[in-house]
């Protein structure tokens, strides 16, 4: 048997996820057109309500797979592009609007942030399950006993647990925020905190690459605001997103990924 379908996901004999991204993009586009392009009632709703529907019913339609499949950087870029295009249409922004401004206005998570959140959720659930003798937790313990090596991180003998823990260490080094769950029911909050911080770090990098902060270190909005490009304009208004990622806090939903310097602390 070359293919095996489980919960809607096709597993290949070699466990390759190369074809998964195309299917996920197709599902995103189909659900967006069904709920927005062809639904005049949804399009007449307030923008905030439309974004909530989009996050729950469109982006949410692929979330359950992201905790168990590996997407390449190119695949995540394709999914990000699909989501950003849809959000731009919901916000009724011009086609040349920068991704940074779209992220700031919509407060959407990046695909890297969504993937980190979903993988962290699965990882923590397996660590804190009330059924330690079930198949999945037993498999995790067996994978942990295997020595870490280059072969277990890349290639046909990849150890999925080693890959996840290696990725978690890399995110921690980048400055992503990890907040240990207080209980099993607290895992969604803990996973959300990580995904939010990863998205914010990505947005910071985009802002500072396109519009580096002033050399004097001031984060005050210049007058007049630069208008040559929406990224530069957004960076000037939002203080070049220099608020440190830890200022986002660790409460579920307390501060969105697009939090900016003027309001991040204490929200």
Residue 9 φ then ψ, to 5°: -105, 135
Length of the chain equals: 267
Q: Kindly report, residue by residue over 172-188, the tens digit of the pLDDT.
A: 999 999 999 999 999 99
Determine contact, residues 187/214, Cβ cutoff 8 Å.
no
Report which listed range, 104-118, 218-232, 250-264, is most confident. 104-118
Whether 197 has a pLDDT exceeding 90, the answer reads yes
**Collapsed DSSP state (helix, strand, coil) of residue 254:** coil
Task: Give pLDDT, residue 171.
Answer: 95
Q: What is the mean pLDDT of the chain?
A: 81
Helices (H), 129-266: 135-145, 150-153, 160-174, 187-210, 230-237
Tell me the percentage of the chain whose pLDDT exceeds 90. 38
Whether 260 has a pLDDT exceeding 60, the answer reads no
Whether 240 has a pLDDT exceeding 50, the answer reads yes
What average pLDDT does this structure show over 243-251? 80
Q: Kindly report, residue by residue over 11-67, the tens digit of the pLDDT.
A: 766 666 667 777 888 888 899 999 998 888 998 999 989 999 999 999 988 887 788
Q: Where are the domains of the chain?
A: 3-92, 114-248
What average pLDDT does this structure show over 225-229? 60
Q: Does 10 or 219 have the greater pLDDT score?
A: 10
Which pair of structure tokens corresponds to residue 240? 């070049």
Cα(258)–Cα(72) distance, rounded to whole angstroms? 24
Helix (H) or strand (E) holding 6: strand 3-6
Work out the pLDDT band at 220, boundaries 50, 70, 90: low
């Amino acid at each position: 048997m070359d293919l095996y379908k489980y919960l809607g996901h096709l597993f290949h004999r070699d466990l390759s996820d190369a074809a998964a991204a195309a299917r996920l993009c197709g599902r995103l586009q189909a659900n967006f057109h069904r709920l927005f392009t062809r639904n005049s009632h949804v399009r007449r709703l307030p923008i905030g309500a439309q974004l909530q529907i989009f996050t729950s019913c469109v982006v949410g339609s692929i979330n359950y797979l992201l905790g168990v499949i590996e997407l390449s950087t190119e695949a995540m870029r394709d999914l990000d592009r699909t989501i950003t295009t849809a959000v731009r249409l919901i916000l009724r922004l011009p086609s040349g609007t920068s991704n940074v401004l779209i992220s700031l206005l919509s407060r959407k998570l990046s695909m890297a942030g969504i993937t980190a959140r979903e993988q962290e959720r699965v990882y923590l659930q397996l660590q804190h399950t009330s059924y330690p003798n079930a198949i999945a937790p037993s498999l995790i313990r067996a994978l942990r006993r295997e020595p870490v090596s280059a072969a277990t991180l890349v290639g046909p003998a990849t150890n999925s647990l080693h890959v996840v823990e290696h990725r978690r260490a890399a995110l921690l080094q980048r400055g992503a925020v990890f907040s240990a769950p207080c209980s099993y029911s607290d895992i969604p909050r803990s996973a959300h905190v990580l995904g939010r911080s990863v998205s914010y770090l990505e947005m910071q990098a985009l802002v500072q690459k396109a519009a580096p902060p002033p050399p004097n270190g001031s984060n005050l909005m210049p007058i007049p605001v630069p208008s040559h490009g929406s990224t530069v304009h957004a960076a000037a208004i939002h203080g070049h997103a220099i608020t440190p990622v830890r200022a986002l806090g660790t409460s579920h939903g307390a501060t969105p990924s697009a939090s900016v310097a003027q309001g991040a602390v204490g929200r």
